[in-house]
A and B are shown apart, each in its own frame.
Chain A
Amino acid sequence: MSLSKLQKRKRFGELIGMIYSIAIYTVLYIPVLVMMIFSFNDQRYNYYWNGFTTEWYSKLFSNSTVIGSLWYSIIIAVLATVISVTIATIGALGLRKYEFRGRKFINNMLFIPIIVPEIVLAVALLIIFMKVGLALGMGSILLGHCTFCIPYAVVTIKGRISGDGYSLEEASMDLGASRIQTFFNVTLPSIMPGVMSAAFLSFTLSIDDVVMSNMLAGAKNSTLPVLILSMNKSGITPDINALTTIMILVIVIAMILNNKIKNALSKRKKAEGIL
């Protein structure tokens, strides 16, 4: 089949676009691949490629500093996620539904941690914590993380509250459900996808955070990113590459499984619907 001039022009444009996109994806993925490759480097510090080894993966778990800060990070991330998503979920619904004085002010405040550079919020919190005599440590880091996780979670969940949510709630109460029952039986399930993505976002923001954690950390323990930053001067060892490689694989596999389960569930639902 011969192509018209227009079709040829379109195909050419499509080709250019594809090449351009592949180039960008390559640049985005190169750091991840390099990180993975150098986790197999047979060298104490990653200066150059010295041969293949898997020893870092086995040695990793005996490095108590690294594993300690990993646990520290995970505990903070889990707590920050639970606290932030709980407050953000009811907060997003409340801010959507109820008119009150100062609502606009709170909505504006929610934008500050998202837009103002994190370092500003971090030093502001540091000064306040020092003023009131709050000891730096897990508590201060957790407060800091929640302060930027809550706004992101609110925005994510707000986007999922549909316009006809009220009529569902009204229908539920009309049928005899109390406010609390309505919340758990109707409102929460309807915004569940938003809550889940808010939780995922909060967890990744918290576990990857450098600025807030570094500023608000106590002398004893540090999160993994803070540990990595402090190692930077002397050089980051391949066992860290091994650890972050395992972490990204766990996250990606969890995402894939999550999608598979979601698809399977919706397929089953569809099949049941047909029957």
Chain B
Amino acid sequence: MSDFIVSLIDVEKSFGKNRVVKKMNVEIKQGEFLTLLGPSGCGKTTTLRMIAGFEEASSGTIMVQGVSIEDKEPFERDVNTVFQNYALFPHMNVFDNIAYALKIKKKSKDEIARRVNEMLELVQLKGYEKRKPDELSGGQKQRVAIARALINNPKVLLLDEPLGALDLKLRKQMQVELKRLQKKLEITFVYVTHDQEEALTMSDRIAIMNEGVIEQLASPREIYERPQTKFVAGFIGESNIFDGKVIGVQDEILVVETTAGTIKVNGDGFEIGERIHVSIRPEYIELSQEPIEGFDLKGKIQDFIYMGTVIKTSIELKDKKEIKYSRFEKEDYFNEGDSINIGWNPERAVAIKAN
């Protein structure tokens, strides 16, 4: 058998005329932490709900361990979900919430008690058995929801923005805990979020979704450093994106003409005359009073913004577009209103095919 635990093959989902998920193909590996990341309305939650069985795919096939599950009800699937707002049963205490799945399966009292205790230990909630959900803090509710979903030993755990309702500090703490939990249990996590930092820190692979399509599926590092589409480049982190045309190719270095001037970027497979996007992170931009070799890009310093560890500057180019530049400390020979030359190491920039 393949080592893919979940496969989505040409999966589509429409609500009325609205196509929310379009011809989606993903293969999720056994034991990996895969994140579906995208802006709201991109189809990530719908995708998750199709795997869980709460929504039915309009067409296509979803397989778990090589078996199609489209005829299985949610309660017949070996996947479990951690819900966005926890969905803890308000009329049951912590113990009964966690024990729910085992009680459904009519397990013996001893076994239930043993397993629930294991789970409580796992999520560090011993002593809270008798509490009702509305007597718990957000973080505690979150842990109960995780314990409840894990008690069945699911092959895949689906998490729908599980940390969305928590404050920043607690969220960071839970990110670390979740990741640790996932490594320890070796369960496949499919995680939905719109928080890119969360995705970058936790995931083995990230699928960036936009308008029902996966724009790129790769490791966090690759997503950050080698975005394949203009959307990904703009969505992940801060980026300056230039639209232009290739006017010269030289040993994998492309010379690109833009409305602001001429720039350089590393890239293969491009031909002269082709439309191209060039993405460069603010931290890789270099400023100089002298002309920079190969670049014909000039701008005027607009303002400095002090942000603690970094200083951000925006620079207006001659086509009135502004680009962002950031450094750890202010280089004092530039001032607001100065005209400067702009450039970068072509290897640091990313060439993206325009379509």
Contacts and interface: CB of A to CB of B under 8 A. Distances in A.
- In their complex, do chains A and B touch, with some C-beta pair under 8 Å? yes
Interface of A: 4-7
Interface in B31-71: 56, 70-71
A6 B76 CA distance: 12
Nearest to B70: A4
B282 to A, nearest CB: 38
What is the interface of chain A mostly: helix, strand, loop, or mixed?
helix
A4 B70 CA distance: 8
B73 interface: yes
Interface string B62-105: 00000000110100000000000000000000000000000000
9 contacts: A4-B56, A4-B70, A4-B71, A5-B71, A6-B56, A6-B70, A6-B71, A6-B73, A7-B56
Nearest to B71: A5
Interface residues of B, number: 4
Interface of B: 56, 70-71, 73
Contacts of A6: 56, 70-71, 73
Given A4-B56, A5-B71, A6-B73, 6 more contacts: A4-B70, A4-B71, A6-B56, A6-B70, A6-B71, A7-B56
Smallest CB-CB A-B distances: 7 pairs? A5-B71, A4-B70, A4-B71, A6-B56, A6-B71, A7-B56, A6-B73
Contacts of B70: 4, 6
Nearest to B59: A1
A117 to B, nearest CB: 32
A185 to B, nearest CB: 38
Contacts of B56: 4, 6-7
A162 to B, nearest CB: 23
A7 B53 CA distance: 12
Nearest to B53: A6
A4 B53 CA distance: 13
A216 to B, nearest CB: 45
Nearest to B56: A6
Contacts of A5: 71
Nearest to A10: B56
Contacts of A4: 56, 70-71
A148 B156 CA distance: 58
Contacts of B73: 6
A7 to B, nearest CB: 7
Contacts of B71: 4-6
Contacts of A7: 56
A7 B56 CA distance: 9
